[in-house]
Amino acid sequence: MPPETPGLPPVLTIDGPSGSGKGTISRAVAQRLGWHYLDSGALYRAVGVAAGWADLDLDDAGALVRCAFDTEIGFRDDPAGELRVLVNGHDATEELRTETAGAAASAIAAIPEVRAALKDRQRAFRRPPGLVADGRDMGTVIFPDAPFKVFLTASAEERAERRYKQLKDKGVSVTLDGLLREILARDARDASRAVAPLRPAEEAVRIDTTGLGIEAVVEQVLGIVGA
């Protein structure tokens, strides 16, 4: 194991584009390690949803920054072990997963002050015995000293297909073509923004999950942590 920052619990950062399998892999790895889990995308989505409830204009940066500071975001496990997300006290788990919430999150995530407003909240998740942090800039900006960094990728086509299956299972009607277009647009926006663009930390281990099953990726990641 590489040296850990003295006095701070270890962090495993798992960054990558949407549909790379980050969420599923991160939750499984956190469970196997018995570590805490941070779904940083849920924070951006929560602010996006709260902004929608308040009818805020997605071009009004000032109002969005205030919204990022003021929105209460809570996480809890339900009896089935599913992570539920509470936004201002309301269970918004399902709403957070919609494409609308994702697109709003991606737009507000490009505002530097919104990112700054969410920084300390993300760092507060670092508690013993350790943290698995899932997002876009976990290894580069939020936890640059993390001893373990992974960057997951997958082809855009495979990511669109995974999302298509997930949504179809939930009875949401979408087209594969439409999803692929949305994924490519979101990738471009997340990778080209001026602040904390999506890119691997230099020392991150890159894993291409195209064609790989969940368990195979989980084992690879556990191997990186030395577990």
27/186 with CB nearer ligand DC = 186
CA distance 23 to 18: 9
Q: How far is the CB of 3 from ligand DC (least distance, A)?
A: 25
123/227 with CB nearer ligand DC = 123
- The alpha carbon of residue 78 and the mean position of all alpha carbons in its chain are separated, in whole angstroms, by 20
- How many separate helices (H) and strands (E) can be counted in the chain? 9, 8
Q: How far is the CB of 190 from ligand DC (least distance, A)?
A: 5
Q: How far is the CB of 138 from ligand DC (least distance, A)?
A: 6
40/209 with CB nearer ligand DC = 40
Strand positions, DSSP E, 28-101: 36-39, 73-77, 83-87, 90-91
Phi, psi of 78 (to 5 degrees): -85, 175
Q: How far is the CB of 97 from ligand DC (least distance, A)?
A: 8
- The alpha carbon of residue 89 and the mean position of all alpha carbons in its chain are separated, in whole angstroms, by 21
> Are the C-beta atoms of 142 and 11 separated by less than 8 Å?
no
What is the bridge-based pairing of β-strands 148-153 and 205-208? Answer: parallel
Q: How far is the CB of 207 from ligand DC (least distance, A)?
A: 17
10/41 with CB nearer ligand DC = 41
Residue nearest to ligand DC (CB): 41
User: Which residues make up the interface to ligand DC (CB under 6 A)?
Assistant: 18, 40-41, 44-45, 102, 105-106, 109, 135-137, 186, 190
33/108 with CB nearer ligand DC = 108
As given in the structure block, the two tokens for residue 91 are 């269970």
